[in-house]
Amino acid sequence: MTEKETVQITDTLEEQFPGAITRDERQGYDGYIVEAAKLVEIAKSLRDDMGYDYLSSVTGVDYLPDDKMEVVYHLYRSAGGPALTLKIQTPRDDSVVPSLVSIYPGADFQEREAWDLLGIRFEGHPDLRRILLWDGFHGHPLRKDWQEPFFEAEGKPFKSRWPQGEIQRVEDTHPFGKNVHYPSEFTPEGWTPEGEAALYSSLGKIEHGNGNNNKGFETDHIVVNLGPQHPSTHGVFRMVVTLDGEEIVGLKPVMGYLHRNHEKIGERNTFLMNMPFTDRLDYLCSMSNNFGYALAVEKLMGVKPPERAEYIRVIMAELTRVVNHIWAIGFLLNDLGAFFTPMLYVINERELILDIFEAVSGSRMMCNYFRFGGVARDIPEDALETIKILVNERLPRKVDELDLYLTGNEIVQTRAIGVGVLTKQQALANSAAGPVLRASGVPYDIRRADPYSIYDRFDFDVAVRYNGDVYDRYLVRLDEIRQSLRILKQAVETIPEGEIQTGKSQYQARVPAGEAYGRVEAPKGELGFYVVSNGKPNPWRYHVRAPSFINLTPLEEMSMGQKIADVVAILGSIDIVLGETDR
């Protein structure tokens, strides 16, 4: 989309909704400020008339000094192009904005998250409960005046570390029990969680003896909890399902068991300190996480990495995609009952790639390799040689073997074809991303739709499949591995010599005030970082648009009417990592 088009859109909107939409004039900011009362109408018009059919991210920012809460929406066109950013401002003490769930169902979990962490109420949300924190939690932690029990100072670095380092262990000063806040009249022992009742009632009416669905049998609806401790959930994750016989008639995911308020930690950290923390989001793909965060901050700083660094970044990101997808396929097969044989075959290849990460970054999984304006160190010559051997010889052979091994397998086909179908419309509406979106027939890949780094230089196809079932999600991943290898082959051939860092990497990055949304096509889908700086050493707001989290929004729709045994495969085909889901 060109600048001209943007102007056109605003002009039309301003005509249609006079006075309700204004340009965000703040220094370093972008997009439009919208009047809350008109939001739903404007969103509807943007979606239906102007092609903004994809709501990527919804989040809030607490502007404490201005006594305002702001909700930020990033909209995209599935046809490609840059974002349209909408914002609503609302007072801090009574933050209410209209919910967009009716226009973009993909806002569901994200609005719940904003309510949970920031205390912004979304009027008209069908099921506005806490999502990451427990019901008894006191306050909304991402509000700027909320302090954690371990609170030491607003921002790092802490004064107590140097020059008079007074060492103490936090757990000695805050022994267990003292490290939680309760509301004043709260007694943990005498408390029954209201959330559970609300959760079960959100599943819809439980019927007794409905009689029709099961061919004349009188059946009751029963509720089954899968997880939180369940091997099929890939971590600590819970699915509450209502069953009619074996059929699923309602499903609610429950998450947050691994929640650590990554974003609050991120706002206490300096900009650079967040880099190793992003490794811990999707811990299988730390290079991609680094990439997204580096892009966001680089946008704010206005720096660009040198050529060689760009190549190294692409090589690392694509190797990560290979690692992630073979891992996801391996685990999907685990979920289908092929217990660990396919998994171990692919782990073998993954190990070889992790060896490269280790040689390059010093760590197999927590790579912490990207810096603002470059990468931490150059890629050793022998590592580059190994990559060449892998991408030219070994990995293509292994992918073909995997293909031969699984794709035609009749058991896999029976379990996967036609199971967990997500239509194109559902996928877009629910803000699904990555392989989940592309398996439903939407050829949306950020590397093509809104290219970043140097992806516009490489020849590759956007993998897309059209049935939207578990099988297609598997096939899309297989296709994507092949496309990644294609990119890698080109990149290792053409990587230039030269610097790997623009300027000197500073431990106190100077980041001018403003906002930026950096997003990459991570292996699991669109990974976005929304960063707001006020010119200080610590980010004012640091938000992660986590694909593992938002891809769960359509889980219920995918599972409806399916057998309970299939929900395990459906979840496996979404490919979530709880480190990222729960943040």
Read off the tokens for 123: 């009027």
Among 2, 164, 187, 192, binds another protein (CB under 8 A): 164
Contact flag: residue 359 with another protein (CB under 8 A): yes
Pick one of 394, 397, 510, 536: the residue that binds another protein (CB under 8 A).
Answer: 394
Shortest spacing between CB 257 and another protein, in angstroms: 21
Token pair of 323, please?
């690692």
Interface residue with another protein, options 390, 442, 532, 570 (CB under 8 A): 390
Size of the site for another protein (CB under 8 A): 56
Tell me how far CA of residue 502 lies from CA of 170, 306, 309, in angstroms: 38, 6, 9
Q: Which amino acid is at 569?
A: A
In terms of CB distance, is 214 or 407 closer to another protein? Answer: 407
**Among 377, 448, 457, 563, which residue interacts with another protein (rule: CB under 8 A)?**
377
Q: Decide if residue 368 touches another protein (CB under 8 A).
A: yes
277 binds another protein (CB under 8 A): yes
β partners of residue 72: 59, 87
What is the Cα–Cα distance from 359 to 384, expressed in whole angstroms?
Answer: 10
Question: Which CB, 129 or 364, lies closer to another protein?
Answer: 364
> With contact defined as beta carbons under 8 Å apart, do 80 and 451 qualify?
no
In the structure encoding, which two tokens stand for residue 300, read together?
Answer: 């704010």
Q: Which is nearer to another protein, 274 or 551 (CB)?
A: 274
- Taking contact as CB under 8 A, which single stretch among the options 52-60, 200-208, 397-405, 426-434 is the one that binds another protein? 397-405
Distance in angstroms (rounded) separating the CA atoms of residues 161 and 146: 23
First to last CA, the chain: 33
Residues of span 24-83 touching another protein by CB under 8 A: none
* DSSP string covering 28-85: T--SEEE-GGGHHHHHHHHHHHH---EEEEEEEEEEGGGTEEEEEEEEE-TT----EE
Q: Please give the structure tokens belonging to residue 490.
A: 């080109």
**With respect to another protein, which residue has the nearer C-beta, 413 or 425?**
413
Beta bridge partners of 541: 532
Cβ-based neighbour number of residue 539 at 10 Å: 27
Of the candidate spans 222-230, 362-370, 447-455, 539-547, the one that interacts with another protein by CB under 8 A turns out to be 362-370
400-419 residues in contact with another protein (CB under 8 A) are 401, 404-413
Instruction: For residues 154 and 148, give the distance between their C-alpha atoms in angstroms, rounded to a whole number.
Output: 10
Least distance in angstroms from the C-beta of 374 to another protein:
12
Please say whether the beta carbons of 220 and 208 come within 8 A.
yes
Write down the least CB distance from residue 376 to another protein, Å.
7
What is the binding site for another protein (CB under 8 A)?
156-158, 160-167, 169, 269-270, 272-277, 341, 345, 348, 351-352, 355, 358-363, 366, 368, 376-377, 380, 386, 389-390, 393-394, 401, 404-413, 505, 507-508
